[in-house]
């Protein structure tokens, strides 16, 4: 007998337990999610495609297997949606662009979609994003801006804009985003949800449209840390279809998620990460540090140079990927994206080579730092979500372009592929802020353990926005 739970607002773990225990049918959950999307998404603009028929058919098939005694999987009946640069069979992979929507529909789902569905989750659609993932704002001239559920006049952050907006609006409990320079962590901060940028190479990117191959990551966004762990575990594992995917076996994090801090050595990033932002951004870090009794301050060496080098590599690799499109269809790009790509195409090769050499040094220097600490705390963004359409903001008394500078604190971290749990902090009744819980390579378990402690303390949380 089905319970009267509002399954349209339930978290992934609760849904999977309900379906697995026979308290609710997967079809009931999916119908509730589709109804909520239809009612609320016009005000949020998180979805570009809703795969209702596919989702209902998948739910019916799951219910039939469950009735026949087949275990339905750890994500049984969980509705999820993916950034539209991840292949969904039957849909053109837009990557937020005008040009890509003319491509033939994908003939196969991306690898992570297949892995989530193998665990029982059900795809309900594809999500809005910044064009070709070269964006931190959530503004898209082709599909319209994503709007922040906690304040529709404000940015969601990007480029995984629809992924953050859909979570904050309670449209689905699980989304996938991509993160090259901060595109999971920025919308997690602006929209007030949890996100995981795994170690570079940890989760396969096969079946996704690239931006910067040497920096691209895929990862989950949710409203709870347990849901992050649940989804992350389902997606782990080697994949020969992604040349940079690790050969390491899956290392599940869910069994140890509640093991607490133990003797973890936690520090706050100082220096570069303690200036160049609004006071509230640093106050959020201090709230988290106090909750964890973290008093040590460390300085990540040459973080400013790391950000500059990441910028050069991003511009050069991104431009190389799009060079033919820039030559033949420049008018079909968002002008802001087009101009940045053209600038990248004009970078002298020695600049990029020097950035890559620095990258090797920086990776070693940060590895040395992690010999003495296990976790480093840093702000996710320099400010709360700016108003949509705002082009400049003032940081430390200097007027700077918004689009280019939202990622000042995320770029030095993804530059060398460190794993990060992004956690949302609410200082007052206003918009949320974000904190990065940064761990050593391959230690997603450590970052998520710390995030889980913060969640249980009530220091971080991801409420559904109160939408009419």
Nearest to 223 by CA among 194, 244, 201: 194
188 is catalytic: no
Name the helix (H) or strand (E) containing 356.
helix 349-369
DSSP for 191-248, written as a single string = HT-EEEE--TTSS--TTB--S-TTT-EEEEEESSHHHHHHHHHHH-S--TTSTT---S
Torsion of CA 182, 184, 185, 191, to 10 degrees: 130
160 is catalytic: no
- Cβ pair 137, 169 in contact under 8 A: no
399 is catalytic: no
Catalytic one of 14, 183, 188, 414: 183
Query: What is the residue whose two structure tokens read 């100082």?
Result: 270
Q: 3-class DSSP state for residue 43?
A: helix
Catalytic one of 8, 14, 83, 163: 83
Nearest to 375 by CA among 302, 289, 272: 289
Query: What is the residue whose two structure tokens read 């090769």?
Result: 349
How do 79-83 and 174-179 pair as beta strands? parallel
- The helix-helix angle for 444-457 and 225-235 (nearest 10°) equals 160
Name the helix (H) or strand (E) containing 360.
helix 349-369
Catalytic one of 8, 159, 188, 414: 159
Tokens found for residue 85: 């640069």
Dmax over CA atoms of the chain, in Å, equals: 67
Name the helix (H) or strand (E) containing 117.
helix 111-118
Active site residues: 83, 159, 183
């Amino acid at each position: 007998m089905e319970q009267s739970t509002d399954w349209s607002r339930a978290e992934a773990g609760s849904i999977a337990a309900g379906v697995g225990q026979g308290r609710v049918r997967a079809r009931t959950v999916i119908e509730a999610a589709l109804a909520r999307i239809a009612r609320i998404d016009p005000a949020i603009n998180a979805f570009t495609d809703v795969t209702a028929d596919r989702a209902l058919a998948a739910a019916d098939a799951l219910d039939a297997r469950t009735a026949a005694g087949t275990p339905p999987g750890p994500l049984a009946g969980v509705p999820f949606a993916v950034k539209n640069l991840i292949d969904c069979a039957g849909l053109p992979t837009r990557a937020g662009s005008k040009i890509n929507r003319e491509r033939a529909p994908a003939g196969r789902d991306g690898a992570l979609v297949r892995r989530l569905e193998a665990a029982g989750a059900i795809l309900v659609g594809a999500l809005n994003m910044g064009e070709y993932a070269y964006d931190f704002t959530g503004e898209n001239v082709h599909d319209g801006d994503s709007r922040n559920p906690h304040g529709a006049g404000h940015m969601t952050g990007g480029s995984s804009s629809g992924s953050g907006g859909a979570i904050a609006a309670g449209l689905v409990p699980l989304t996938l985003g991509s993160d090259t320079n901060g595109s999971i962590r920025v919308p997690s901060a602006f929209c007030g949800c949890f996100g995981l940028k795994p170690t570079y190479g940890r989760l396969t990117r096969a079946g996704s449209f690239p931006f910067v191959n040497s920096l691209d990551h895929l990862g989950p966004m949710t409203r709870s840390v347990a849901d992050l762990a649940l989804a992350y575990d389902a997606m782990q594992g080697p994949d020969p279809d992604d040349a940079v995917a690790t050969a390491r076996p899956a290392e599940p994090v869910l069994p140890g998620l509640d093991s607490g801090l133990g003797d973890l050595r936690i520090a706050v990033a100082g220096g570069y990460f303690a200036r160049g932002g609004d006071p509230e951004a640093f106050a959020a870090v201090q709230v988290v540090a106090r909750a964890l009794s973290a008093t040590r301050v460390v300085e990540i060496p040459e973080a400013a140079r790391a950000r500059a080098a990441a910028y050069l590599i991003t511009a050069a690799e991104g431009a190389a990927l799009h060079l033919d499109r820039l030559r033949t269809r420049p008018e079909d790009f968002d002008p802001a994206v087009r101009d940045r790509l053209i600038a990248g195409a004009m970078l002298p090769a020695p600049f990029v080579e020097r950035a890559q050499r620095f990258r090797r040094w920086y990776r070693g220097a940060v590895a040395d730092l992690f010999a003495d600490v296990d976790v480093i705390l840093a702000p996710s963004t320099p400010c709360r979500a700016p108003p949509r359409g705002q082009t400049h903001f003032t940081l430390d008394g200097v007027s700077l372009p918004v689009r280019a500078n939202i990622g000042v604190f995320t770029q030095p971290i993804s530059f060398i592929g460190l794993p990060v749990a992004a956690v949302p902090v609410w200082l007052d009744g206003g918009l949320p802020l974000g904190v990065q819980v940064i761990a050593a390579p391959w230690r997603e378990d450590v970052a998520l353990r710390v995030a889980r402690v913060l969640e249980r303390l009530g220091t971080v949380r991801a409420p559904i926005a109160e939408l009419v």
